Amino acid sequence: MNRFNRVVYNAHLGLRSAIAHRTFRESFDQVKAFCLFVGYPRSGHSLIGAMLNAHRHAVIAHELTAPKLIQKGCTRASLYAYILGKASHFHWHKNRGFYDYRIPGSHQGEFETLKVIGDKRGGHASRHIAGHPDFLARLGALVEVPVKLVHVIRNPYDNIATIGHREHRTLDDSIRYYFDHVATTQRLTTDLTGEQIITIHHEALVADPKCELTRLCRWFDLDADSEYLKACGSIVYDRPHQSRHNAAWSRDHRREVVERSRDVPFLSHYHFDQADQ
């Protein structure tokens, strides 16, 4: 994004956030949980974030980078207003990122009662938590509701290959970058309770969107009616994209991933040649 577009974007986001702050401030007291995605870039966060954002009682911003706002000392009201503004801005752009995240007949861009609010930018959140050990405590004190972390996992070979392609990294650098994030998420999944963090495997979501989305909604204490589940399932691909086959893996690269995954509970069952999860 060039400088002019960045200025226009910030002005547009600021205006939408100001409107949200004025219009929905009373709704902020109805929030029951703050959602933050943690994990790895290019792992399938956007799909799950779009599904949650489609729920009538949830608003999830598409890559607002909320930790930066929190670190700067924003208020709860301004944080929530920016989330609503960002979600509204993304909807105005037809819920498109690298893929089309439009869910027919859903509540993207609106809500009925605001029970869950949050931000979807897992890689950035993980890096921020790693650099600021007190961040989750600060966030909890700010929002005064439970902070619930959504941890999305994708086959590491696919995830690493996509990181390399999208972020123009070498395979060596992509492996290092990926496992730097794993170090943080492994600590979080070990230290936090099942009420604080949930792990969603991308391949399981693709195989059975209804089951996995129902599980996620129940975890947030959100209803999951059949029309909502059907609408969300309609945008899911028939099978995961196996981007691992588009990268030039050497024997040493594959061995490194195997060795570094072996002692990570949520990665140890993945392997290079598997067809699906």
Closest CA to 139 of 71, 193, 40: 71
Q: Is residue 138 part of a domain?
A: yes
Assigned domain for 133 exists: yes
The beta-strand segments (E) located in 106-253 are 116-120, 147-153, 197-201
Whether 116 maps to a domain, the answer reads: yes
- Taking the CA of residue 166 as centre, how many other CA atoms within 13 Å lie in the half-sphere pointing to its CB? 14
What CATH number has the domain bearing residue 40?
3.40.50
CA distance 67 to 119: 9
List residues bridging with 200 in a β-sheet: 152
Cα-Cα-Cα-Cα dihedral of 61, 24, 144, 221, to 10°? -70
Radius of gyration of the chain (CA): 18
pLDDT tens series, the chain, 277 aa? 566 666 655 666 677 778 777 888 899 999 999 999 999 988 988 899 999 999 999 999 987 778 888 888 899 999 999 899 888 877 766 556 667 888 988 888 789 999 999 998 878 889 999 999 899 999 999 999 999 999 999 999 999 999 999 999 999 999 999 999 999 999 999 999 999 999 999 999 999 999 999 999 999 999 999 999 999 999 998 888 899 999 999 999 999 999 999 999 999 999 998 775 4
In a domain, 273, yes or no: no
- In sequence order, what are the beta bridge partners of 197? 149
Please count the other Cβ atoms lying within 10 Å of the Cβ belonging to residue 168. 9
Closest CA to 48 of 277, 240, 236: 236
Domain interval for residue 52: 8-261
- Rounded CA-CA distance 149/131 in Å is 17
Does some domain include residue 268?
Answer: no
Percentages (nearest 5) of helix, strand, coil residues in the chain: 55, 10, 35
C-alpha span between 116 and 31 (Å, rounded): 6
Stated pTM of the model: 0.91
Domain count, the chain: 1
Q: Kindly state whether residue 57 falls inside one of the protein's structural domains.
A: yes
